[in-house]
Each structure stands twice: as C-alpha cells, then as structure tokens.
A and B are shown apart, each in its own frame.
Chain A
Amino acid sequence: MSDLTTFEFAARAQNTQGATRRETPLHHVSHQNAEAAAVVFNEVPFCAQLTLRGSPENPDFLAGVEKVLGFALPVQPLTSHASDSYYVFWISPGEWLILAENIEPAVIEASLRAELTGHFAVVDVSAGQTLMTLSGEAVQQVLQKSCGYDVEASLPVGKVVTTTFAKATLVLHHQAEGKYFLIVRRSFADYVWRWLVDASAEYGLTVV
C-alpha cells in the first residue's frame, strides 16, 4: 500500500478502492450561498448504476429480476419503482436503469447474472454517469428554465423521463414532492452543474 491511503479525501473523492483515489464527476463542486437558498443541489457520491436490458415479454426474465430486486420491473413507459435498496427506472421498452446507494454495483450485477439466462444484458455504468438531486422551493422554476419538457404539468411524483436539459440529455425523475433526480453522463456533469449555478442565481443555490 502506498502513502496515498493515509490521505483524507472529501466525501465525493474517496479512497474507496485501496490506494486508488476515486472522484465523482463533481467532486470539485462547492457553493456558498446558503442563507437565501431556494435551490438545493446534491451529488450522491458513488451510487451504483446499472443498465439492464431484456424482453418485458419474457416471463423468466421478469421473474429473475424480481427475485433480485424484491419487486417487479416497471414495464409501463416512463414509470419507476423504488424500495429501500433500489431505484428502478423505465428507460425504453426492454431497458431499465437500476440505482442503489448502498450496494456495490458488482454485487448487483453478479446476483442478476446468477438469476438470468438467455437473452439479456447487464452493464455497470456507475463510473459513466452521476446522480444529482435538486430540491428547494424554486426547484420547479429552475427546471422549467432548463427543459422543454413540461415539468410542472407532466412530471408527477414517480414518473421518469429521458429528455433534454439545457443542451444535454439526462434522465429526470420526480422522486418525492419537490425533489428531483437528475442522472447525467459524466462528461456532461460539469456543464449541467454550471448551467444550474447560472439558472439558480436569482433564487440562491446551495450545495449539501
């Protein structure tokens, strides 16, 4: 082990894999505007993210996934399902995004592979994208500035859409009343963050 292991890193740049320093796409982000903040931003560090593909018409596939997750896959367009351990989002017919904050992606992948046979795909995309949460009393105004999608009228709690946000593409999920998930590609994370800083300036933005 090298001396690197003795360094203390911030929560979003941890020494989670032995001597290897690991950084979230937004580990460098901080923002002081806490007094009047009507927009609250958070990047959930090192969230497990897996893309699952398979046929929703295949009962063996559905049953195998249900055994691992503990609930049935959401097969209706733009729906999601969550438990204490997992969030699962419908992305496309036959494609889902699985998120977990407290389970290692390799563990999820291995349990899915153990249950599934035939034509399916599980890919660990944890390092390729990041989960941001956005809340606060002005969150809807900020989203309405940023999306062509009608967030106010068409995105009730529980719904998930892949859409454009500023000039990026992301997965937008209304997680709870007034709280949204933004799942964005690593290479777009800083762009989306800087857009949010600008779009939130008039309301006040804080990072938690």
Chain B
Amino acid sequence: MLHLFCPYCQELREENEFHYRGQAHIVRPKDPESLSDKEWGDYLFFRNNSKGIHHEMWYHVSGCRRFFNVTRNTVTYEIYETYKIGETPAVTDKEETE
C-alpha cells in the first residue's frame, strides 16, 4: 500500500483513498485543427513508459476530490514528491539512476 501526501489536505493518506489518473503535464494543443492525425493521435493516446522517474496525476477521490501530481520511481515505487496542479516538479533529473 502506498502512502500519498495530498498537497491539498496536507497529510498522508492511504492509497485506497486515491485513483491513479495517468501521466501528468500533458498540454492540450492550442489549435487542434492544425495538427496532423499523427500529432493528434500522439496527444490522445501515446504516453511515456519510463523506467525510473515518472510524473503522474493522482485523484484524491475519497477525500478532497482534487487532482494533484506525484513524482514516483516506477522501479522502486519511491515517491519523491507530490505537488499541486499548476506547479512544476522539483525532482526531474533522476531518469538515469537505477
């Protein structure tokens, strides 16, 4: 069981209060009409499958019902940080560790 620190409730809660909601920081294209099918398909369907650092969204569904971001190591499950939507991650450069 993971323990996640909700940056809105400001305390650790058990994983069963949360839902995982996939890769974070995916920016919706400003002008979708101008994209090629490939670019639009990449935006909609294709996600990183990184070994190591991963920035992902979690949803505090049984708590404050807010989305927030988590930096997690996909190999060790270590959680480096959680941060609010709109904030930038502090931990970004550990991709090559492990």
Contact = CB atoms under 8 A, between A and B. Distances in A.
B62 A169 contact: yes
A30 interface: no
A93 B14 contact: no
Given A148-B14, A148-B16, A163 B8 contact: no
Interface string B1-28: 0000000111101101100000000000
Interface string A154-178: 1000000111100001000000000
Contacts of B17: 148, 163-164
Interface in B38-78: 61-66
B83 to A, nearest CB: 14
A78 B11 contact: yes
Given A77-B9, A78-B11, A154-B11, A91 B16 contact: no
A86 interface: no
Contacts of A163: 13, 17, 62-63
B69 to A, nearest CB: 15
Contacts of B65: 92, 162
Contact of B10 (A77, A95, A164): A77
Contacts of B8: 77, 92-93
Interface residues of B, number: 14
A11 B13 CA distance: 38
A149 interface: yes
Contacts of A164: 16-17, 62
Contacts of A148: 14, 16-17
A2 B63 CA distance: 45
Interface string A51-78: 0000000000000000000000000011
Nearest to A76: B10
Interface of B: 8-11, 13-14, 16-17, 61-66
13 contacts: A77-B11, A78-B9, A92-B8, A92-B66, A93-B8, A93-B66, A95-B64, A148-B16, A149-B13, A162-B63, A163-B63, A164-B16, A169-B62
